[in-house]
Amino acid sequence: MTSLHTDPSGEHRLLLRSMLGEDLVLTDADAMARYCRDWHGDVTSSAVAVLRPRSTEDVAACVEACRELGLAVVPQGGNTGLVLGGIPDMPERQVVLSLERMNRIRKIDADDFSAVVEAGCILWELKEAIAAEGMFFPLALGAQGSCRIGGNISTNAGGINVLRYGMTRELVLGLEVVLPDGTIFDGLSTLRKDNRGIDLKQLFIGAEGTLGVVTAASIKLTPNPDQVATALVGLASLEDAITLYRRARRDCSDLMSAFEFMPPLAFTLAREAIPDLPIPMAADYPCYVLMEVSGSGLVDIDNLMQRFLEGVMEDGIVLDGAIASSQAQARNLWLIREGMNEGQAKRGVHMRSDVSVPLSKVPSFVAEAEKAIHEALPDCICVSYGHVGDGNVHLNVLPSVELPHQQRLERIYQSKTILNQVLDRFHGSLSAEHGIGRLKRADFDARLPETKRRLLNAIKNAIDPDMVMNPGCQLNFTGKS
Amino acid sequence: MTSLHTDPSGEHRLLLRSMLGEDLVLTDADAMARYCRDWHGDVTSSAVAVLRPRSTEDVAACVEACRELGLAVVPQGGNTGLVLGGIPDMPERQVVLSLERMNRIRKIDADDFSAVVEAGCILWELKEAIAAEGMFFPLALGAQGSCRIGGNISTNAGGINVLRYGMTRELVLGLEVVLPDGTIFDGLSTLRKDNRGIDLKQLFIGAEGTLGVVTAASIKLTPNPDQVATALVGLASLEDAITLYRRARRDCSDLMSAFEFMPPLAFTLAREAIPDLPIPMAADYPCYVLMEVSGSGLVDIDNLMQRFLEGVMEDGIVLDGAIASSQAQARNLWLIREGMNEGQAKRGVHMRSDVSVPLSKVPSFVAEAEKAIHEALPDCICVSYGHVGDGNVHLNVLPSVELPHQQRLERIYQSKTILNQVLDRFHGSLSAEHGIGRLKRADFDARLPETKRRLLNAIKNAIDPDMVMNPGCQLNFTGKS
């Protein structure tokens, strides 16, 4: 249906309300604002409408209505994404489909180590409900108080526990998805092992809503790790951090659940965000690692951490170390990591990245990238940190606070370009965990091998030939020729 | 190209030889026999030719040649599959593409916890080469002395270590695939974390060669578990085995690497295969579990197993137990498990299954299925065992050895039908780990929801519109309407 009306969005709004009912459709600009603005506040957009379905059937009706009206659907979870995958960029053609009302936990089955949850469940609330049953859902990331599990699945979220439990993909047993034609793919099995051919659910994990709308998932639970040991250690170099990681995997029998490296500047930044934060170590070492070992039952995790650190200090790999002796102390160590992020935000707009290289290349990559950026942009500061066990580095660049806004934006652009050049030499990934969304589409596109592009277009055309789902996200998919 | 020759296969053979060179093409019936016969010897077929490429480029040329001649490609690894996925069933139209000559290990990188290997590497040889570098590749299954990694990936193989390390899918970092149009998809990255949108490699894992030919893979390695504790325990029921499993996951902090349940008949069957096999326990208990806990470094695995078993014996969950005190004793415990399989084979043709149900349903599923089969077929014996932690049961049915062959085949058919009926009531999977292949195609097809069928056909048409790859495997895919 093509509108000849002078205000096509107005007409579309009326039609959506009449097709779906007032309750599901937001069209007021103020009410829509928070759905059309990204987490960092970098981008403000708008949309024809925001649809807020309450059930899988509602979602199917929403997709069907949009398809009928020639509108496109931008699915959105907690709107905490960092690459604009859920933010509309064609306000007159796109509708935001928020899953926030689909937030029921359908089932937690501790006996089966599984749960079935709706896409709109907030990750933290989910984790709490699961913990109340004595179980554990390992996904853990900064946005966990606001992000929703459907978004985590659609972006294949990473986070701090990936080295032990894998990305979100590895935590998913089954999916329920509303397809672009409005039909419902019901794959909510809780079977641990099901090898009936091509595994369709894999397509939707990490697709950022370009192939359908994830409405519910069955997920894997594990026993709650009732013992957690947390330590902050100082090292002579990032090379030593990698050595420490390798040794920790072996010595701690893969019971390590987090391994984050940070520069000494982390302490300064954390204090800028949380002035009275206790920091149990001087900023005297070139590199710091925040590590966590966890387990349950008969394994003595505190003892394991203690003996591990004694060994690596004796061998000179670790120069200084502090083990948290209470949950409060452990929390404070994590606040250094989190405060470092907040501290960067407080210094204004800056370049954020989320890249990965092979583990053994992390030190040389960071050194080369920081050197190239320092040389070209001496008025900028590099802050490199990340989930080093996964080869995942967040190399951020803070332009001098003295610079006017426009020049800061230029520095961001310049430093991103330099970083990508170095990254290409290391055959790294420009998105280790955040996805592509709209923010990284051009950089992704520019590096996409032809064979991969052809496959992606073929898959998109096979599942969403009318390009209803999230156009502009990941790739400007091309229709059938 | 359509042949009007009276012997089209003869003409195709000549053309393949001239297009690909003598070295790559086998056409002699005797030489082809072993590629056209399945592992169990149930099916003997033939093919236009067997192609044996030595490189990825060879594979591309083979696929291209087949496409040009209107022939279909049946990829084959070690030919140890259990569902006829690699056995041709249209001898005049199909060519077997054996990957056995592509058996180079391209790289083992202990520092990166990764390796890059060609599809034709024999799993056991691969594991040994990796172990020589102090690392471990966790995939472990009965056929590991003959199966090849490309086949493991194409079937998403399971095995005994799935509960700790996941299916083959979770061990794959990247793939190189020759697509049905003869182009090469190069996705051999060893990045641990790479979230650049839709993850195309997932499509080829478990596709059993219906979407392309896996020619190489980058795989995840872990530290070698230098401590392994193995125990055989006797229990009052399968319910107690599930209770034991739940407790073991918690008490042993997920360091369990195998948890296999067996009936008392296992001992008899194992002795029939290996007459002098030492068995450290009387066949007095209704259920046995063979469990393994493993780890590396500072965790004391023997002590962990010891204390765990003391606890569960005190609590009456385990009635009797024997911990292996040497590698030789551990090996003997595993020989009970393996001998049980051989013993079944020695009793002649029988019904084998590979099903899964949710963990908590395993005892009631086994009880119901065995009861139904006993009632309908009193001259048959059920042997149920499996990877119970994954809800994966191999419920096999041995017809009386007194019965003539034809009646045994009838019993196999009847018992399979009964099993599937019970399985459907439990919403189980008719393939937990073996795949669909040709053997389970009809049963899979009969249960395939329409939405899933539509998606599978759409994907197949998107990637292999000319139906070059492995027709007859998984599904009789339908072309574009």
pLDDT tens-place string over residues B342-361: 999 999 999 999 999 999 99
ipTM: 0.96
DSSP lists the bridge partners of residue B94 as B72
Question: Coil, strand or helix: which one is A369?
Answer: helix
Instruction: Look at residue A6 and tell me whether its pLDDT is greater than 70.
Output: no
pLDDT of residue A221: 97
Looking at the partner chain, which of A158, A208, A298 has a beta carbon nearest the beta carbon of B197? A208
Mean confidence (pLDDT) of chain A: 96
Instruction: Look at residue B481 and tell me whether its pLDDT is greater than 60.
Output: no
- Answer yes or no: do A432 and B210 touch at CB < 8 A: no
Nearest CA in chain B to A187: B452
Amino acid letter for position A50: V
Instruction: Look at residue B316 and tell me whether its pLDDT is greater than 60.
Output: yes
| Residue pair A118/A215 in contact by the 8 Å Cβ criterion | yes
pLDDT of residue B6: 66
Tokens 């001259």 belong to residue: B379
- Answer yes or no: do B254 and A455 touch at CB < 8 A: no
- Counted across chains A and B, CB pairs separated by less than 8 A come out at 284
Backbone angles phi, psi at A283, to 5 degrees: -85, 45
Q: Which residues of B touch A458 (CB under 8 A)?
A: 462-463
- Answer yes or no: do A193 and B254 touch at CB < 8 A: no
Nearest CA in chain A to B473: A197
- Answer yes or no: do B211 and A202 touch at CB < 8 A: no
Q: How far apart are CA B195 and CA B191, in angstroms?
A: 10
Nearest CA in chain A to B432: A194
Res. B8 pLDDT band, cuts 50 70 90: confident
Q: Which residues of A touch B205 (CB under 8 A)?
A: 199
- Answer yes or no: do A156 and B195 touch at CB < 8 A: yes
pLDDT tens-digit readout, B202-213: 999 999 999 999
Contacts of A58 (CB under 8 A, 6+ apart): A20, A24
pLDDT of residue B41: 85
Instruction: Look at residue A269 and tell me whether its pLDDT is greater than 80.
Output: yes
What phi-psi label fits residue B50: left (phi over 0), alpha (psi between -120 and 50 degrees) or beta? beta
- Answer yes or no: do B198 and A207 touch at CB < 8 A: yes
Report the pLDDT averaged over residues B106-124: 97
Q: How far apart are CA A411 and CA B365, in angstroms?
A: 64
pLDDT tens-digit readout, A398-420: 999 999 999 999 999 999 999 99
pLDDT of residue B388: 87
pLDDT tens-digit readout, A329-344: 999 999 999 999 999 9
Instruction: Look at residue A170 and tell me whether its pLDDT is greater than 80.
Output: yes
Looking at the partner chain, which of A112, A222, A459 has a beta carbon nearest the beta carbon of B459? A459
The DSSP secondary-structure symbol of A471 reads T
| Torsion sign over Cα A451, A455, A461, A467 | negative
Take residue B211 and report the two structure tokens written for it: 């979407």
Looking at the partner chain, which of B184, B387, B444 has a beta carbon nearest the beta carbon of A197? B444
Nearest CA in chain A to B169: A170
What does the H/E/C string look like for chain B? CCCCCCCHHHHHHHHHHHHHCHHHEECCHHHHHCCCECCCCCCECCCCEEECCCCHHHHHHHHHHHHHHCCEEEEECCCCCCCCCCCCCCCCCEEEEECCCCCCEEEEEHHHCEEEEECCCEHHHHHHHHHHCCEECCCCCCCCCCCEHHHHHHCCCCCCCHHHHCCHHHHEEEEEEECCCCCEEEECCCCCCCCCCCCCHHHHCCCCCCCCEEEEEEEECEECCCEEEEEEEEECCHHHHHHHHHHHHHHCCCCEEEEEEECCHHHHHHHHHCCCCCCCCCCCCCEEEEEEEEECCCCCHHHHHHHHHHHHHHCCCCCEEEECCCHHHHHHHHHHHHHHHHHHHHCCCCECCCEECCHHHHHHHHHHHHHHHHHHCCCEEEEEEEEHHHCEEEEEEEECCCCCHHHHHHHHHHHHHHHHHHHHHCCCECCCCCCCCCCCHHHHHHCCCHHHHHHHHHHHHHHCCCCCECCCCCCCCCCCC
Mean confidence (pLDDT) of chain B: 96
- For A244, the enclosing helix (H) or strand (E) is helix A238-251
pLDDT of residue B283: 84
- Answer yes or no: do B192 and A449 touch at CB < 8 A: no
Take residue A419 and report the two structure tokens written for it: 């970083």
Tokens 């990188």 belong to residue: B109
pLDDT tens-digit readout, B133-188: 999 999 999 999 999 999 999 999 999 999 999 999 999 999 999 999 999 999 99
- Answer yes or no: do B193 and A433 touch at CB < 8 A: yes
Q: How far apart are CA B151 and CA B118, in angstroms?
A: 11
Nearest CA in chain A to B187: A452
Q: Identify the structural domains of chain A with CATH numbers, from first to last.
A: 8-98 (3.30.43.10), 105-223 (3.30.465.10), 225-346 (3.30.70.2190), 348-460 (3.30.70.2740)
Question: Coil, strand or helix: which one is A258?
Answer: strand
| Residue pair A27/A17 in contact by the 8 Å Cβ criterion | yes
